[in-house]
Chains A and B, each alone.
Chain A
Amino acid sequence: MTSDAFSNRHPAVNFLFFLGAIGFAVLIQHPAYLIAGALGAAAYYLLLSGRKGWKRIGMLVPMFLLLTAVNPLFNTYGERVLFHVFGRPYTLEALLYGGAIAGVFVVMMLWFGCYNAVMTSDKFTSLFGNLIPALSLLLVMVLRMIPGFIRKAGQITLARRAIGLGAGEKNRDKIRHGMGVLSALTDWALEGSVVTGDSMRARGYGSGRRTSFQIYTMKRGDWCLLAVLMFLAAAVIAVSAMGATAAEFTPVLSIAPVSGIYALGFAAYCAYLLIPSVLHLKEELQWRRSRSKI
């Protein structure tokens, strides 16, 4: 999967970063913060996925416009009425609020796009391996079985087709034959499960306390990065508590200014969001430099 300077950090650092980034994105509707969030997320998303990233971002734009336009239909508060729909007022404030909500949605989707690339299943399970061992083992087993089941489903479909039990083009046919495949797959899977269970017990599963092998270790750099992230997040939370991120849209527009100490909070927020992108670019630059030296 994706491997860059940020995703190579300890999964806990990755996970906490996304928790913060998505958490802030959902809770703060201040336009400046939203725009910063959108830019920060889009930047990292593009760095991770390259050209393909533009396509997804392109798909989010109409989504944004639609959600923005639809929201005032269900929210009629606001002073400046733009026009009436079905006899209900369509207000500027509600439109702006809709824009903010749609913005939140877009930023969230972008961060999740990055999350999916960075937090691979093994990182996720190793992170929770100590906290919820049985459940994360269950998840690991499921993730291990799925590709095998998919392959077997294909084999069964082919095997059945080669003795005349194949489906035609009609959906009805396909569903009927699919049921046969699912049924055969179930038998096969259950039989295999018995062997898996034996293999687990043969290797001492259930013989007493279990530990969880950590392939990832927190290095010094990880701790440092985590400390920086924590500091920046704390700064954002602090100024937010002071009212820096307050933004009311309806009934009256009232948005906190980004100035004085509030500007510091905003700067901390931007710094937080840019950390993965900066790490990524820094590494890329180093590579280029070391290559050009050769």
Chain B
Amino acid sequence: MKKSHIATLIVFLAVIPATLVLGSRLPGRAYYVTSTLVIVELLIPFFLAFEGRRPQARELVLLAVMCALAVAGRVAIPVPGFKAIFAVIMIAGIAFGPESGFLVGAVSALASNFFYSQGPYTPWQMMAYGAGGMLAGFLFAKNLLPRKPVVMGLFGFLAVAFFVGPLLDTCSVFLVLSKISLKGAMAFYVSGFAVNVNQAIATAAVLLLLGKPLLEKLDRVKTKYGILAVEEGSGHP
């Protein structure tokens, strides 16, 4: 068994349960600390797997390009509130598979915050953005869904409106509510919904219009240089 696999098992079977138990014992209000610790612990296996893979130069560069594109997309489309970041992360997931999708999402979030501001939400963003990329990777790179613009657009909308967005709202819930209750949490999800839908529309628009051309561009580079040809059997036909 690979070292990174062992580490993953340890994280899931020992570290996370331990954190949860300890968190519930902590005095006062430890939701935020506990949940954030769990989030960080969930990131660890992904990162260790990446380290264990000893990525080649070209793979590393391509992932870096996708992350930087995700962050710089804001400048390319200078419309306030229109974020291309989720769409670019999802395209990375579709092109390179779930693991890379996750990595691109997590690193984009972290890097983007270096240019804006790190905060208590950073680990949550890393997790949420990464999860978006990973989901796209699972569904498209493994050919569960066809890579058609409409399908990708619809996926992008649903994933952001009902998965990535709410995940980010959860951070706020843990951060500012003194007593976690279903009602209190719902208040956050409902009030965040409008923003999430807005971003979901942006994501859908980018995937609809740019999904296919961008994937073709990535495919061209991949075949031209024979990189990342197969990642865990996620190669496409």
Contact = CB atoms under 8 A, between A and B. Distances in A.
Complex A–B touching at CB under 8 A? yes
Interface residues of A, number: 77
Contacts of A224: none
A272 interface: no
Nearest to A157: B76
A106 to B, nearest CB: 11
Interface in A3-39: 22-23, 26-29
B145 interface: no
B53 to A, nearest CB: 8
A142 B71 contact: yes
A186 B176 contact: no
Contacts of B53: 134
Interface stretch (B11-19, B58-66, B136-144, B157-165): B58-66
Contacts of A153: 72, 75-76
Contacts, number: 201
Given A134-B54, A200-B61, A154 B75 contact: yes
Interface size class of B (residues with CB under 8 A): 35 or more
Given A112-B119, A135-B47, A247-B28, A141 B178 contact: no
22 contacts: A26-B33, A27-B26, A73-B184, A74-B178, A134-B53, A135-B50, A135-B51, A135-B107, A138-B55, A141-B60, A142-B64, A142-B71, A143-B114, A146-B72, A153-B76, A174-B77, A175-B82, A179-B77, A182-B73, A183-B214, A190-B62, A198-B57
Interface of B: 26-30, 32-33, 47, 50-51, 53-58, 60-65, 67-69, 71-73, 75-79, 82, 84, 103, 107-108, 110-111, 114-115, 117-120, 175-179, 181, 183-184, 187, 205-206, 209-210, 213-214, 217-218, 220-221, 224-225, 227
Given A27-B28, A142-B107, 8 more contacts: A101-B29, A102-B176, A134-B55, A153-B76, A183-B210, A183-B217, A185-B69, A189-B65
Would you list the 7 A-B pairs with minimal beta carbon distance, nearest first?
A: A178-B77, A74-B184, A145-B68, A149-B72, A141-B64, A75-B179, A197-B58
